Every structure is written in C-alpha cells, then in structure tokens.
Amino acid sequence: MKVDAETLDLVSDRFLEAAIDPTLWKDVLEDLAVASGAFGVNIVPIGPVFSGIVATTDSLAPAMELYIGDEWYKRDFRVENAPLLSAEVAVEQDFATAEHFSSLDYYRAQEKFGLRWTAIMAMPADSGLVSFVLQRRIDQGPFEREEVALFRHVRRKLLASTLVMRELAGARIAGLSAGFETAGIACISFDRAGKVAGCNERASRLLGADLQITAGHLRCRRPADSAAFNERLRQVLGQGPSFVPGVADVIVVPRPDRRPLVIRLQRVGGGAQELFGAAAAVALIEDPEQARPIDTALLVTVFDLTPREAEIACMMASGAGLVGIGLHLDITYDTVRTHARAIFRKTDTGSQGQLIALLARFRF
C-alpha cells in the first residue's frame, strides 16, 4: 500500500481550514498527493456544464491544460457513469478494462503524460457534482481496495469542508446582493449552468416585457439580445472563450419607450470555493433613467484616496471584479489588489459589498 495513513489523516484535518481560506487548497492538495501516494490531485466539476475552474497540483497542470483545451470534459466517457461517481469513492478499475485502456482515445491522451489510475471522490454541489481526483502514473499501478477504505474516511472530512464552502459562498453572494441593493444596483446571480440563482429587489423591479426570467433563464424581448446575453454568459462562466476580440462585454437591452438597460456580467469568486457555491456569475443591470455617478474628487477629499484609488473604488462600487479592472486599466492583477487593500483600509471597509454600500451614499 502506497498510502501513508497517519499523514493522510493529518492532511485531511486541514480541509476545513482550506474551506475558510481557499488560497490554502494548493498546498493542501500537494500534501494530499504525497500522503496518498498519488502523482497529483485535482478538483474539477463533473458533467457537461464545465466552468473551467480547476484546482490542481503542479504535477497535473499540463494534463489538465490538455483536458480543458481539447474539451475532454465533453467527451470523457466516465461522465456517463454519474451514478457510479455518486458512490463514496470510485477507482479507475470501476470504469474501465484493459480493452478500454488500449482502445479509447481518452486513455491514449492520458498516456502522453504517463497517467491512467484514479481514485475519485465525488461531492454534491449546487450545480451538480464536483470531483476530488487522486491520479497515479501508469508505472505506479492502480489504487488498491484497502487504500479506498482510507479514502472513504478522507471523503467524510471533505464533505464537511464542502458544506462550509457552500455556506461561505452563499453568504458572500448574499452580502454582494445586499450591497448592490443598498447602492441602488440591480443584480441577478447565475449558477454554473447559466440558470438564475437569485435576484435582488431592484432587479425584480426591472423585469417585465423587455427583460424577464423564463424557465430559470434570463430572456430579453428580442431573440438577438437574448442570444448576445447567453453568449457573453458562456464566456464569463468559462464555457467559451473568456475574451473574444470584437465581442462587446456589455449587453444593451433596448426598451421601446425608455433608454435601454445596460447589463454587465462578472464572474464571482474563483478557485475551489466557487465550485460549491450557488452562484458563479452576476449580471449587474444599470438603468440610465436612474443611474447617478460617484464624484471621484469627493472620494479623494473624504477618504484621502489617490486619484487611481478613487477610480478603482468607483469601478468596484459598480460591481467590477479585480481581474476585470486590471484588464480595463491595463495594469496587473497584483497592482489592482494592492490598490483594493488600500481602499478598504482608508474607507474602513472589509469587503466589496461593504464598499458598495458605503459609496452608495456618495452618488450625486
């Protein structure tokens, strides 16, 4: 048996800590690989809806890049065995035979990286299943049944941590939604399948003939506008190219008797925690009939922000994420994050939701 049972137990005790601080998952997965005798470990959604969110050890990064780039998640024959994956732990021998290994393109693709054997622990998520996958190289041999017994214990700890991640993700969305409501910004959230997961009161008041929720999907009056919105949503959710030259990142919804609504889509969160949340993206809807800008000069005076910090604070107050702000301003993510920390410190806020609520008072 290649598993170090004592170390495995200690590593799995850190799952809850990583659930609270998702930045720890990388190190936890690296240590989990060592303790389980695996070549690497990854966390990935199961099923046809794939957001492109993957937490992985460095050893599996090239293989996962191919898996996503070549869209193997759409052709992975193991996905058809979802009932089997709902078991506590499934190993490669449960899915495949020697004939499969020699005949299926999936295994040929894996062989390029020397990979074959897996132990899969499937976890429930709001949009389906998420798998924690331990992977071994061909020359390491398959996971043994006595090792699977240990992994069942690990899975029970994973279940506890996933529950924490789901609650934290839900609380974060609720906080953002409340912040947007206070700021007078309409907000609709979407799950990884692109279905509506939530709608704040201000967004509800904008729904009608021009914009409506039908069968769990947001629809526009004109089919062309609905198609444009769905395409942009797929991009944001990672089900298509994230950024396409020439494709607008703002959706304009015409209204016959008023100025059009403006919809901006933003990915929520990131990393392992997002996989278990009810919402993966938010649509921020601006009604030009009601929109009021924030005076950046006033923010500089009141909070002693620099002009750049005031500019970024206004963008954050409009719901923009740090990655999107960096792309818009042509600065690095680390630079935006440094500015955001300074903004939180100077405004005595601790989250984007709190900043939104605070700056709502400065709209004129």
Contact 135, 118 (CB under 8 A): yes
Q: Within 10 A of 23 (CB to CB), how many other CB atoms are there?
A: 10
- Provide the pLDDT for residue 218: 95
CA atoms within 13 A on the CB side of 303: 26
- Residue 160 is encoded by which pair of tokens? 């506890």
The alpha carbon of 334 is separated from its chain's Cα centroid by a whole number of angstroms, namely: 19
- Parallel, antiparallel or unpaired: strands 186-190 and 128-137: unpaired
- Provide the pLDDT for residue 35: 96
- Provide the pLDDT for residue 317: 84
Contact 238, 44 (CB under 8 A): no
- Provide the pLDDT for residue 194: 85
* 8-state DSSP, 80: G
Question: For residue 306, which of 358, 347, 265 has the smallest C-alpha distance?
Answer: 347
Question: For residue 105, which of 73, 76, 82, 139 has the smallest C-alpha distance?
Answer: 76
- Provide the pLDDT for residue 363: 59
Three-class secondary structure of residue 334 per DSSP:
helix
- Superfamily of structural domain 5-167: Transcription factor LuxR-like, autoinducer-binding domain (3.30.450.80)
- Provide the pLDDT for residue 291: 56
Contact 308, 339 (CB under 8 A): yes
- Provide the pLDDT for residue 364: 46
- Provide the pLDDT for residue 338: 94
Provide the β-strand partners of residue 282.
Answer: 189, 266
pTM of the predicted protein model: 0.64
Query: Where does CATH 1.10.10.10 sit in the chain?
Result: 292-364
Contact 288, 310 (CB under 8 A): no
Query: Where does CATH 3.30.450.80 sit in the chain?
Result: 5-167
What is the block-wise mean pLDDT of the chain (364 residues), using blocks of 10 residues?
90 91 89 96 73 80 88 76 69 89 90 94 74 94 93 91 80 78 83 85 91 93 91 76 56 85 79 61 83 79 93 85 87 92 93 83 62
- Provide the pLDDT for residue 9: 93
Top CATH class of 292-364 equals mainly alpha
